[in-house]
């Protein structure tokens, strides 16, 4: 389960599946060599491992431009993830994931585009601005508003349940 | 160039998303340490950022990934302590060279951690994840670690006749994960094979070769209805049915 999520995260960021596998491997080995780097006060092991994987993947694509995914690929995958139905084998955490997806689909399209390019695409806000043809200030605002909206949606959903 | 508070504040969201330059990363980091308002804003986004991470759909994990992680883990476990000249005091350094130089610290815990990683890979450690922030000293007791794993909910404990060898089979979402400690290398051209017993009928869960006494495997066979687990020595490649007496069983 962790292995599958970590590998999927690496694949979301890195265009080459073989390189994604190496990233996933590095993330596990990093935890394995330094188990003390994980602090349970700051979230679940799952989200910690995914964060480590994401950062390693971003480091890689920033150094190897060719491994970077295109904007269109990133957006298509993000849309699939916010609409997709989980398959039967992903029973554990399915409801939680559904909630997250619903929250993600609630943020506006331009906000999601900016957030996805930054988080999964490894773009800095300056690169987001250049790629979308918007001023840097607008890119920063979209990232901030996207996160704020997401935070609000998640809070609303937690309160409802 | 010093940025104003407002300029830095506008970088908080890009910062938590990792979407700033390395220079800005440092500037924002040192700013939020001393600015409560910006620290609070950064903290307020942590759930949203985690939700982005967790929105990823799990994929089936390639066997090669498990194999490679295990191989690296075993390689670390095998690293002879004597061949490494010095132990740096600062275990926080994270670049590769330092990691290699600081192997002695890790060599102590490596075998234990090899067990841990198999369980983590499979997500079998969900019930015990808070133990992960244990100190390395605690991790160093690898036997104890297997005992802990064997005591987790739904786990089955295996032991050899002498009690020197212990193992644990842990249920996961997709099957099970097996870890063992204290095994000698198998005889030449032989391997260890794990069997799941259902009313005494064995089904193979796969083969493994231990390194430094530590071994393990992941199986996608469900543990539902399994009432026992046994390990036998089999010719390399494994056998369709067990050919020898179990050297380890529940």
- The H or E element spanning position A146 is helix A136-160
B44 in the same domain as B119: no
Task: Give B129 to chain A, closest Cα distance, Å.
Answer: 7
> How confident is residue B135, by pLDDT bands cut at 50, 70 and 90?
very low
Residue B114 confidence (pLDDT): 52
B165 in the same domain as B69: yes
CA A84 to centroid of chain Cα atoms = 15
Residue A5 confidence (pLDDT): 84
CA A1 to centroid of chain Cα atoms = 17
**Interface membership of A128 toward B (CB under 8 Å):** yes
**Of B216 and A105, more confident:** A105
B80 in the same domain as B21: no
B74 in the same domain as B49: no
Nearest to B47 among A12, A101, A154 (CB): A154
Q: Are B213 and B184 in contact (CB under 8 A)?
A: yes
- Domains of chain B: total: 2
Nearest to B13 among A55, A82, A140 (CB): A140
Distance (Å, rounded) from C-alpha B117 to C-alpha A44? Answer: 16
8 Å CB contact of B48 and A97: no
Residue B211 confidence (pLDDT): 65
Distance (Å, rounded) from C-alpha B97 to C-alpha B119? Answer: 27
Give chain B as a DSSP string: -PPPHHHHHTTHHHHHTT-S-HHHHHHHHHHHHH-HHHHHHHHHTHHHHHHHHHTSPP-PPPHHHHHHHHHHHHHHHH--GGG-----S-TT--SHHHHHHTHHHHHHHHHHHHHHHHHHHHTTTGGGGGGGGS-HHHHH-HHHHHHHHHHSTT-EEEE-TTSS-EEEEEEETTEEEEEEESPPPPPTTEEEEEEEEETTEEEEEEEE--BTTEEEEEE-S--TT--EEEEEEEETT--SS--S--SEE-
* Residue to test with chain B: of A74, A103, A147, most B Cβ within 10 A: A147
Sign for the CA dihedral angle at A55, A27, A89, B116 comes to: negative
**Interface membership of A81 toward B (CB under 8 Å):** yes
Residue B4 has pLDDT above 60, yes or no: yes
**Of A128 and A93, more confident:** A128
Please calculate the CA angle A59-A149-A82 and round it to the nearest 5 degrees: 65
Residue B66 has pLDDT above 90, yes or no: no
8 Å CB contact of A82 and B116: no
B146 in the same domain as B29: no
B220 in the same domain as B242: yes
The whole-number average pLDDT for the span A95-114 is 84
CA A24 to centroid of chain Cα atoms = 14
Size of interface A-B (CB pairs under 8 A): 195
Matching residue, tokens 């007496």: B245
B84 in the same domain as B11: no
Burial class (CB in 10 A: 0-12, 13-18, 19+), B136: middle
Residue A110 confidence (pLDDT): 94
Which residue of chain B has the CA closest to A77? B56
Q: What is the rounded average pLDDT for all residues in chain B?
A: 74
SS3 A117: helix
Nearest to B18 among A8, A55, A104 (CB): A55
Taking contacts as CB-CB distances below 8 angstroms, the residues of chain A near B52 are 104, 115, 119-120, 150
B11 in the same domain as B110: no
Give the range of the structural domain holding residue B36, as residue numbers without chain letter.
5-54
B220 in the same domain as B134: yes
Largest CA distance in chain B: 75
8 Å CB contact of A140 and B10: yes
Which residues, in sequence order, are CB contacts of B206 under 8 Å at separation 6+? B193, B194, B217, B218, B219, B238
Residues facing residue B233 across a β-bridge? B192
Task: Give A115 to chain B, closest Cα distance, Å.
Answer: 8
B243 in the same domain as B174: yes
Taking contacts as CB-CB distances below 8 angstroms, the residues of chain A near B57 are 8, 81, 84, 86, 90, 97
Residue B131 has pLDDT above 90, yes or no: no
B229 in the same domain as B211: yes
B50 in the same domain as B162: no
**Of A100 and B45, more confident:** B45
- Encoding tokens for residue B113? 């951690």
Question: Which ipTM did the prediction report?
Answer: 0.89
Q: Which domains does chain A have, with CATH numbers?
A: 1-68 (1.10.1740.10), 70-161 (1.10.10.10)
pLDDT tens per residue across span A19-67: 999 999 898 888 766 666 766 666 677 788 889 999 999 999 998 888 8
SS3 A14: strand
Residue B78 has pLDDT above 60, yes or no: no
> How confident is residue B90, by pLDDT bands cut at 50, 70 and 90?
very low
8 Å CB contact of B123 and A43: no
């Amino acid at each position: 389960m962790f292995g599958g999520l970590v590998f999927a995260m690496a694949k979301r960021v890195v265009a080459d599946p073989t390189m994604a596998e190496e990233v996933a491997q590095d993330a596990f080995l990093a935890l394995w060599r330094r188990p003390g780097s994980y602090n349970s006060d700051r979230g679940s092991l799952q989200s910690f491992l995914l964060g480590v994987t994401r950062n390693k993947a971003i480091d890689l694509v920033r150094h190897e431009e060719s491994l970077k995914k295109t904007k269109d690929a990133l957006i298509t995958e993000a849309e699939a993830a916010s609409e997709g139905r989980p398959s039967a084998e992903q029973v554990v955490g399915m409801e939680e994931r559904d909630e997250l997806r619903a929250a993600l689909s609630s943020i506006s399209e331009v906000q999601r585009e900016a957030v996805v390019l930054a988080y999964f695409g490894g773009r800095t806000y300056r690169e987001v601005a250049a790629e979308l043809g918007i001023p840097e200030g607008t890119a920063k605002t979209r990232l901030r508003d996207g996160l704020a909206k997401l935070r609000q949606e998640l809070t609303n959903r937690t309160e409802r349940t | 160039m010093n940025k104003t508070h407002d300029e830095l504040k506008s970088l908080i969201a890009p910062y938590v998303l990792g979407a700033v330059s390395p220079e800005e990363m440092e500037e924002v980091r040192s700013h939020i340490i001393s600015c409560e308002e910006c620290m609070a804003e950064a903290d307020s986004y942590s759930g949203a950022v985690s939700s982005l991470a967790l929105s990823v759909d799990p994929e089936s994990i390639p066997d090669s990934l498990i194999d490679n992680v295990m191989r690296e883990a075993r390689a670390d476990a095998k690293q002879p302590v004597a061949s490494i000249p010095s132990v740096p005091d600062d275990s926080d350094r994270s670049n590769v060279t330092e990691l290699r130089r600081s192997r002695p610290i890790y060599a102590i815990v490596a075998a234990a951690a090899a067990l841990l990683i198999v369980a983590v890979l499979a997500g079998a450690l969900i019930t015990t994840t808070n133990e992960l922030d244990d100190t390395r000293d605690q991790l160093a007791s690898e036997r104890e670690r297997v005992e802990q794993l064997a005591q987790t909910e739904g786990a089955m404990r295996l032991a050899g006749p002498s009690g020197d060898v212990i193992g644990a089979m842990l249920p996961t979402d997709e099957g099970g994960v097996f870890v063992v400690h204290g095994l000698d290398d198998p005889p030449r051209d032989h391997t260890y094979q794990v069997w799941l017993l259902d009313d005494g009928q064995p089904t193979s869960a796969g083969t493994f070769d231990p390194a430094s006494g530590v071994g393990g495997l992941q199986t996608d066979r469900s543990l539902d209805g399994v009432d026992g687990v046994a390990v036998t020595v089999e010719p390399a490649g494994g056998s369709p049915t067990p050919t020898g007496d179990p050297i380890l069983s529940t």
